[in-house]
Amino acid sequence: MKWDEFFVTGEPLIYMADAAIVLTIIGIVFVLTYFKKWKWLWKEWLTTVDHKKIGIMYIISAVLMLFRGGVDALLMRAQLTVPNNTFLDSQHYNEIFTTHGTIMILFMAMPFIFGIMNIAVPLQIGARDVAFPYLNALSFWTFFFGALLFNISFVIGGSPDAGWTAYMPLAGNELSPGPGQNYYLLGLQISGIGSLISGINFIVTILKMRAPGMTLMRMPMFTWATLITSILVVFAFPVLTVALALMTLDRIFGTHFFTLSGDGVPMHWANLFWIWGHPEVYIAILPAFGVFSEVVSTFARKRLFGYTAMVWSMVAISVLSMLVWVHHFFTMGSGAPVNAFFSVSTMAIAIPTGVKIFNWLFTLYKGRIKFTSAMLWSLAFIPTFVIGGVTGVMLSMAAADYQYHNTYFLVAHFHNTLICGTVFAVFAALHYWYPKMFGVILNEKLGKITFWFFVLGFNVCFLPQYVLGFMGMPRRIYTYPADAGWTELNVISTIGAVMMGIGFIFLCINVVYTYFKGERDLTGDPWDGRTLEWSIPSPAPHYNFAVTPQVKGLDAWWMMKKERKEGKEEEKPEYKPIHMPSNSGRPFIMSIFFFIAGFGLVFEWMPVAIIGLIGVIICMILRSFEYDDGYYVPVEEIKQTEAGRE
């Protein structure tokens, strides 16, 4: 392979990206060296097993990926603004919509959600950490290096271009030669390991580590959402693992699972992909529902309406989510009975979702609503998500879907659910839990500017796309003729996309502003919260709870505050040394070996792949022989930390 095949060449945009990457790396290395921060980076972050720090790293990575995916989106909108545009050629456009979809779902939405789960769940259930802190670090680093592997594709070797769904035979060797599609397969495979481990970790944490008195039906709604999501992760991700592995075998080792030759079945890929893929969108949306439940009940200053119905509707959604995958390809012709079944099961999801929507509305009813930024995101979610839901039911009618299929109507629909559901939720969660992460409150004024730009921009961007869909504009086309009549709506849509971009910039400004001038949260409970994470100082001390809390009902912290107001005498807390797990650099190093193995397989350099795998195995063996019982936080340190709070 020649160097000009190894590096992507011939595109001014790519050269600019190359320069930006090199400058950023030089900048980071310079700053770390100048401020002598290398040791700090290693000791405090790269080797940490603290769920709060891992959560923060997840969120930072997710915001970076949101930037990357957002730039992809803006490039696409720029290309589509006017007819017969030559800003991007068709190949480049194909690569960009593929990476946009893959990154936004797998490297933005998922890690953002895992980050918030990491920060909130152990604090909500009164635990000192997750069940397996070491594996938690491994989850993060495999995600990180999987995402890194996927992301370097656009400067080294070329990006995948078969869509984020990677349908066969398009994604096969004949139609997608070169390393691009391999990046997709290996990047997702490596980060998928992390997702699976996280799923197991949270199930065990939630089932086994709740504070005494917290029965399952006293758990905060976000914890419930995390539990159900984790179960979906554990049963859905192995299907993706297998599907990716089979396609890797097809591409690298010449097997015939999904190929046209050798009697393979390309349809089988579509089935496997969506058997994972549909639960996956609920993996992205259920935690969002959890966030909104917390935020709505906190800022309406009311107990969540219909708690039990909320839990059971999530369970119902998770079961149904496994039974609807064929609605992604009604037009592949599975026959009327099959399509009818999946039509009905898809429509059925609207019922538990509707229950949830009404419960949020009833929670708001007669509440003393505080319009904070977090609350605004939640309020905007309800009507916009309903639009996504209603158009979803329209799409679920198999006969009608033959008209909507692969048009901009579909594009608008899933952005209405994924942006208004997941993205609004992670922004709400960021505002809501920011004080618990960093001890400072995100600026409300900047938060509201972000909100209005983003939400208005969203609607300006995507509502015209429904109409474009009706007018017959197909998705994934890189340009269109002037006489198609789509120009005006495309211009409007691009304006909306730019507004969303401005909203994102304000979010970044807010983070920087808050770092320097943010209002400190000295109470630990800035929102007058209801759940246990607000009972401890902000930012949360590394051991979380000095004394394990006793839970007497739903909204445990709210009840404690009420008892306090009623003048109930508090027991003086008696501190005991707290047992904590030791840091470890091995998850980081092991994930580097995963990266090396993945990179070797992408270019089909088997010696490199084997070296990487041997490194992984050695790391696992070393871990098995390691006996580390962690350490104890002395009582003196706990007293000091807790005293700073009164």
Partner 1 sequence: MSEIAPKQSNLPLEYSTKQNQLNILGFWIFLGAELALFATLFATYLVLVSRTAGGPGPEELYELKTVLIETFLLLTSSFTCGLAVYEMRRGKQAGMIGWLIVTILLGIGFLYFEIEEFILYAVHEGATMQTSAFLSSFFTLVGTHGLHVTIGIFWILIIILQVLKRGLNADTARKVFISSLYWHFLDVVWIFLFTLVYLTGMVS
Helical spans, DSSP H, in 336-372:
336-348, 350-364
The minimum distance between CB 608 and partner 1, in angstroms, equals 21
Contacts with partner 1, 198-227, as mask; x by CB under 8 A: -xxx-xx--xxx------------------
Binding range to partner 1, per CB under 8 A, among 53-61, 148-156, 192-200, 529-537: 192-200
Question: 237 or 438, CB closer to partner 1?
Answer: 237
Residues 247, 168 contacting (CB under 8 angstroms): yes
Does the footprint of partner 1 cover residue 235 (CB under 8 A)? Answer: yes
| Cis status, amide bond into 474, omega within 30 of 0 | no
Residue 143 Cβ, how far from partner 1 at the closest point, in Å? 17
x-or-dash pattern for partner 1, window 562-601, by CB under 8 A? -----------------xxx--------------------
Residue 546: phi and psi, rounded to 5, are -65, -40
Options 4, 483, 571, 629; binder of partner 1; rule CB under 8 A:
629
The whole-angstrom separation of Cα 407 and Cα 139 is: 36
Site string for partner 1, 244-263 (x = CB under 8 A): -xx--xx--xxxxx-x-xxx
Residue 66: HSE in the Cβ half-sphere, 13 Å Cα cutoff: 24
Binding partner 1 by CB under 8 A: which of 21, 46, 234, 332? 234
- Binding track over 129-148 against partner 1, x by CB under 8 A: xxxxx---------------
Q: How many CA atoms lie within 13 A of 199 on its CB side?
A: 21
CB nearer to partner 1: pick between 268 and 301:
268
Buried b (16+ CB within 10 A) or exposed e, 301-314: ebebbbbeebbebb
Least CB distance from residue 105 to partner 1, whole Å? 20
Go through the chain and tell me how many residues it has.
Answer: 646
The residue (of 75 and 117) whose beta carbon lies closer to partner 1 is 117
Residue with tokens 């079961």: 319
Piece of 127-135, 145-153, 283-291, 552-560 that binds partner 1 (CB under 8 A): 127-135
Count of residues in contact with partner 1, rule CB under 8 A: 52
For the chain, helix (H) and strand (E) counts, in that order, are 23, 4
Give all strands (DSSP E) within 538-645, no chain letters: 578-580, 631-633
Which residue pairs, CB below 8 angstroms and at least 24 apart, start in 527-531? 527/298, 527/299, 527/372, 527/374, 527/432, 528/298, 528/301, 529/298, 529/557, 529/558, 530/220, 530/297, 530/298, 530/303, 530/555, 530/557, 530/558, 531/124, 531/220, 531/294, 531/555, 531/556, 531/557, 531/558
Nearest approach in angstroms of CB 196 to partner 1 is 6
121 sits near partner 1 (criterion: CB under 8 A): no
- Asked if residue 137 lies in contact with residue 48, where contact means CB atoms within 8 angstroms, the answer is yes
Please tell me whether residue 627 binds partner 1 under the rule CB under 8 A: yes
Nearest distance from residue 50's CB to partner 1, in Å? Answer: 11
**For partner 1, the closer CB: 122 or 388:** 122
Binding partner 1 (rule: CB under 8 A), the pick from 155, 190, 272, 546 is: 272
Q: Which is nearer to partner 1, 34 or 625 (CB)?
A: 625
When binding is defined by CB under 8 A, the residue of 128, 210, 302, 413 that contacts partner 1 is: 128
| Beta strands 578-580; 631-633: pairing state | antiparallel
Nearest distance in Å: CB 547, partner 1: 14
> Strand, helix or coil at 390?
helix
| 552 makes contact with partner 1 (CB under 8 A) | no
Query: CA angle, 379 as apex, 382 and 217 as ends, to 5°?
Result: 75
Contact 419, 499 (CB under 8 A): no
Q: Binding to partner 1 (CB under 8 A): which residues in 597-626?
A: 621, 624-625
Rounded to whole angstroms, how far apart are CA atoms 601 and 149? 11
Report the site for partner 1 in 147-186 (rule: CB under 8 A). none
Residue 516 in the binding site for partner 1 (CB under 8 A):
no
- Please state the closest distance from residue 597 (CB atom) to partner 1, in A: 16
Structure tokens at 611: 């070296």
The residue among 246 and 411 lying less far from partner 1, judged by its C-beta, is 246
CA-CA-CA-CA dihedral for 129, 141, 321, 222, to nearest 10: 30
Residue 142 Cβ vs partner 1, minimum distance, rounded to whole Å: 15
CA distances in angstroms from 443 to 342, 430, 451, 594, listed in the order given: 46, 12, 12, 40
Binding mask 335-354 for partner 1 (x = CB under 8 A): --------------------
Q: Applying CB under 8 A, which residues contact partner 1?
A: 127-133, 196, 199-201, 203-204, 207-209, 234-239, 241-243, 245-246, 249-250, 253-257, 259, 261-265, 268, 272, 275, 579-581, 621, 624-625, 627, 629-630
